[in-house]
A = this chain, B = another copy of it.
């Protein structure tokens, strides 16, 4: 099988992201330690984020607003203006944080861009994701960039149509079973799962419920060899 378009998720596939969110969550728990234990702060924050997704979508600005709401709720409104400014400043720091590529990303993307058409395909805040791509230093290797508000099977079908590739010519590479792997397969594409060290609870999928077939690699650095193997298999047939 020859893939004519390889799409990469960005957050936690090309660069670190979830670890930064979790670090800020710990700071929020520390800020509220006189009111509630850390586990409860994190549970209420997740509940607020989940409630707000339909209005705020994904991204750091929505996360920041959800942190503020959680702090107000958990202190029954007693949180002070200075503490809320602190929370906004965490959000601003996240938005400006240096983009840290995962191991092997630069080499793999550089190499594959010579043999394949590469796409960056990410959900989240348009402004934030464009800014991260610009700061990543690897933008030039992607022939196309698609930033979408949600990644479901219909999103993948639309992307394939817009870029004129058949489903069996499309490969998705990402860390999220829920957003990258299962919907890409549902749209007829292929998928390679590369787990990240941390997963946002919202993206969690119970693997025992999955019947789809996809490859799983430990590192993006294994992708070129995996692709070469797919090519061999096609020649043998």
CB of A171 within 8 A of chain B? no
Q: Which residues of A contact B (CB under 8 A)?
A: 52, 55-59, 61-62, 64-65, 68-69, 71-72, 75-82, 84-85, 88, 91-92, 95-96, 125-128, 130-131, 147-149
Q: Is the beta-carbon distance between B58 and A127 smaller than 8 angstroms?
A: yes
Across the A-B interface, give the 5 residue pairs with the lowest CB-CB distance, nearest first: A57-B127, A77-B81, A126-B126, A61-B61, A72-B81
Q: Which of B68, B75, B79, B125 contacts A88 (CB 8 A)?
A: B68
Measured between beta carbons, the chain B residues less than 8 angstroms from A96 are: 55
* Cα A79 to Cα B77 with chains together (Å): 10
The 9 sampled A-B contact pairs (Cβ below 8 Å) are A56-B95, A56-B127, A57-B125, A59-B61, A65-B91, A68-B88, A69-B85, A78-B81, A80-B81
* Cα A80 to Cα B125 with chains together (Å): 29
Question: Main SS of chain A's interface residues?
Answer: helix
* Cα A125 to Cα B62 with chains together (Å): 11
Distance (Å) between the CB of A66 and the closest chain B CB? 9
Distance (Å) between the CB of A139 and the closest chain B CB? 13
Measured between beta carbons, the chain B residues less than 8 angstroms from A65 are: 61, 64-65, 88, 91
The chain B residue with its CB closest to the CB of A63 is: B61
* Cα A165 to Cα B52 with chains together (Å): 40
Q: Which of B57, B62, B84, B131 contacts A68 (CB 8 A)?
A: B84
Q: Is the beta-carbon distance between A69 and B56 smaller than 8 angstroms?
A: no
Distance (Å) between the CB of A83 and the closest chain B CB? 9
Q: Is the beta-carbon distance between B55 and A95 smaller than 8 angstroms?
A: yes
- 5 further A-B contacts with Cβ under 8 Å, apart from A56-B127, A69-B88, A126-B126, are A52-B92, A59-B127, A65-B65, A84-B84, A126-B149
* Cα A92 to Cα B82 with chains together (Å): 23
Q: Is the beta-carbon distance between A80 and B82 smaller than 8 angstroms?
A: no
Known contacts A55-B95, A126-B149; A77/B69 CB under 8 A: no
* Cα A125 to Cα B125 with chains together (Å): 7
The chain B residue with its CB closest to the CB of A62 is: B61
Measured between beta carbons, the chain B residues less than 8 angstroms from A131 are: 149
Q: Which of B77, B92, B147 contacts A126 (CB 8 A)?
A: B147
